[in-house]
Amino acid sequence: MQDDSGPDTTEDFQAIGGEAESVYEIIVREMEDAVFFVEVEQTDDDYTFTFRRNNASHQQLTGLSEDELRGQTPQELLGDEQGAAVAANYRRCVEQGETIEYEEKLEFPAGTSHWQTKLTPITDDERVTQIVGVARDVTEQKEQQQKLQRLDRQFETVLETMSAAVFLKDTDGQYLLMNQACRELLNVDDQDIVGLTDDDLFPSEVAEEATKDDRQVIESGEMIKLEEEIPTATGNTVRLTRKSPVYDDDGEITGICGVSTDITGQKQREREVTRLKERFELAVEGANLGVWDWDMRTDEVEFNEQWARMLGHSLDEIEPHLEEWEQRVHPDDLDAVEEALDEHIAGETELYDTEHRMRTADGNWKWIRDIGKIAERDEDGEPARAVGIHLDIDDRKTYQRQLAEEREMFTQGPAVVFKWREAEGWPIEHVSENVEAVLGYTADELQSGAVQFAEIIHEEDRERVMQEVADNNTEGTEQFSHEPYRIVTADGTVRWMLDYTRNVWQDGEIINRLGYLVDITEQRQNEIYLQNAQKVADIGWWRKEIPSDEIYWSEHVYDMWEADGEIGYLDHERFLEFIHPEDTDRVDQAWQAALDGEPYDVEHRIITGEGNIKWMQEVAEFTRDETGDPIEAVGIVQDITEIKEYEQTLENQRDNLEVLNQIVRHDIRNDLQVMLTYGEVLEDYVEEAGEEYLQNIMESGREAVEITQTAAEVTEVMLGSETDLTPVNLRSVLEAQMTHVRTNHERALVSAEGEVPDTTVLADDMLESVFRNVLNNAIVHNDKELPEVTVSATADEETVRVRIADNGPGIPDEQKGQVFREGEKGLDSEGTGLGLYLVQTLVDRYGGTVQIENNEPDGSVFIVELRREQ
pLDDT at residue number 45:
77
Which residue among 262, 280, 307 closes a domain? 262
Distance of alpha carbon 40 from alpha carbon 217, whole angstroms: 67
Does residue 180 sit in the same domain as residue 130? no
Distance CA 328, CA 311 (A): 9
Per-residue model confidence as pLDDT tens digits over 405-421: 655 554 444 578 888 89
> Which range is least confidently modeled, 564-578, 738-752, 782-796, 805-819?
564-578
In the structure, what pLDDT confidence band is assigned to residue 270 with cuts at 50, 70 and 90?
Answer: confident
Q: Is 222 exposed, middle or buried (0-12, 13-18, 19+ CB in 10 A)?
A: exposed
Q: Is 124 exposed, middle or buried (0-12, 13-18, 19+ CB in 10 A)?
A: middle
Q: Higher pLDDT residue, 185 or 652?
A: 185
Query: Is residue 824 pLDDT above 60, yes or no?
Result: no
Same domain, yes or no: 225 and 276: no
- Name the domain boundary from 495, 525, 555: 525
Provide the strand spans (E) within 125-249: 127-137, 165-170, 175-178, 224-232, 235-247
Mean pLDDT of 569-580: 84
Mean pLDDT for 38-48 is 87
Antiparallel, parallel or unpaired: β 100-108 and 860-867: unpaired
For residue 227, the number of C-alpha atoms closer than 13 Å in the C-beta half-sphere is 6
Q: Looking at the structure, do residues 499 and 442 belong to the same domain, yes or no?
A: yes
Check residue 731 and give its pLDDT. Answer: 94
For residue 672, pLDDT over 80 is answered with: no
Please report the sign of the dihedral spanned by the C-alpha atoms of residue 609, residue 613, residue 619, residue 623. Answer: positive
Identity (one letter) of the amino acid at 560?
M
Distance CA 474, CA 469 (A): 10
Over pLDDT 70: what percentage of the chain?
Answer: 85
pLDDT for residue 178: 87
Would you list the DSSP string of 66-88? HHHHTT--HHHHH-HHHHHHHHH
According to the model, what pLDDT value does residue 832 have?
47
Whether the pLDDT of residue 538 is over 70: the answer is no
The stretch 580-587 carries a mean pLDDT of: 94
Among positive and negative, which fits the CA dihedral 128, 130, 136, 137?
Answer: positive
pLDDT at 15: 41
If pLDDT is split at 50, 70 and 90, which confidence band does 89 have? very high
Any domain includes 532: no
pLDDT score of 686:
76
Share of the chain above pLDDT 90, in %: 38
The last residue of one of the domains, among 601, 619, 639, is 639
- Quote the CA–CA distance of 487 and 435 in Å, as a whole number: 12
Length of the chain: 870
For residues 798 and 864, the answer to whether their CB atoms sit within 8 Å is no
Helical spans, DSSP H, in 79-189: 80-96, 139-161, 180-186
Tally of structural domains, the chain: 6
In a domain, 223, yes or no: yes
Domain identity same for 274 and 254: no
Q: Can you tell me whether residue 755 is helix, strand or coil?
A: coil
Predicted local confidence at residue 12, as pLDDT: 44
Dihedral over alpha carbons 234, 240, 246, 252 (to 10 degrees)? 120
Average pLDDT over residues 211-228: 90
Integer Cα distance of 607 and 849 in angstroms: 53
Beta bridge partners of 863: 803, 851
Residues paired with 418 in a beta bridge: 431, 515
Contact in structure between 709 and 740 (CB atoms under 8 Å): no
| pLDDT per position as a tens digit, 97-120 | 999 999 898 988 888 888 899 999
Same domain, yes or no: 415 and 343: no
Looking at residue 88, its pLDDT comes to 93
Q: How far is CA 587 from CA 360, 578, 582, 630, 830, in A?
A: 64, 11, 10, 18, 56
- Reported in sequence order, the residue ranges of 547-599 that DSSP labels E, i.e. its strands, are 550-553
Supply the CATH number for residue 820's domain: 3.30.565.10
Residue 353 and residue 310 share a domain: yes
Instruction: Tell me the C-alpha distance between 679 and 673, whole Å.
Output: 10
pLDDT digits (tens, 9 = 90+) for 197-209: 988 888 889 889 9
Let me know if residue 703 belongs to a domain.
no
Residues 389 and 294 in one domain: yes
Residues 757 and 853 in one domain: yes
- Give yes or no: residues 127 and 194 share one domain: no
Tell whether 584 is covered by a domain: yes
User: Is the pLDDT score of 285 beyond 70?
Assistant: no
Nearest to 749 by CA among 757, 760, 741, 761: 741
> Do both 254 and 289 map to the same domain?
no
Report DSSP letters for 278-323, one per residue: HHHHHHHHHTT-EEEEEETTTTEEEE-HHHHHHTT--GGGS-SBTH
pLDDT digit string (tens) for 756-791? 999 999 998 889 989 998 998 888 888 888 999 999
Residue 151 belongs to some domain of the structure: no
What pLDDT score was predicted for residue 706? 65
Question: CA 270, 276, 280 angle in degrees (round to 5)?
Answer: 145
CATH number of the domain within which 560 lies: 3.30.450.20
Residues 607-632 have a mean pLDDT of 90
Dihedral angle computed from the Cα positions of residues 532, 412, 718 and 744, in that order, rounded to the nearest 10 degrees: 180
The mean per-residue pLDDT over the stretch 622-628 comes to 86
Residue 693 above 70 pLDDT?
yes
Q: Please tell me whether residues 233 and 198 are part of one structural domain.
A: yes
Residue ranges of E strands in 591-649: 600-607, 613-624, 630-639
Q: Is residue 833 part of a domain?
A: yes
Residue 133 included in any domain: yes
Per the structure, the complete domain to which residue 861 belongs is given by 723-867
pLDDT score at 413: 45
Domain match, 117 and 49 both: yes
148 inside domain:
no
- pTM beyond cutoff 0.75: no
- Phi and psi angles of residue 339, each rounded to the nearest 5 degrees, phi first: -65, -40
Mean pLDDT of the chain: 83
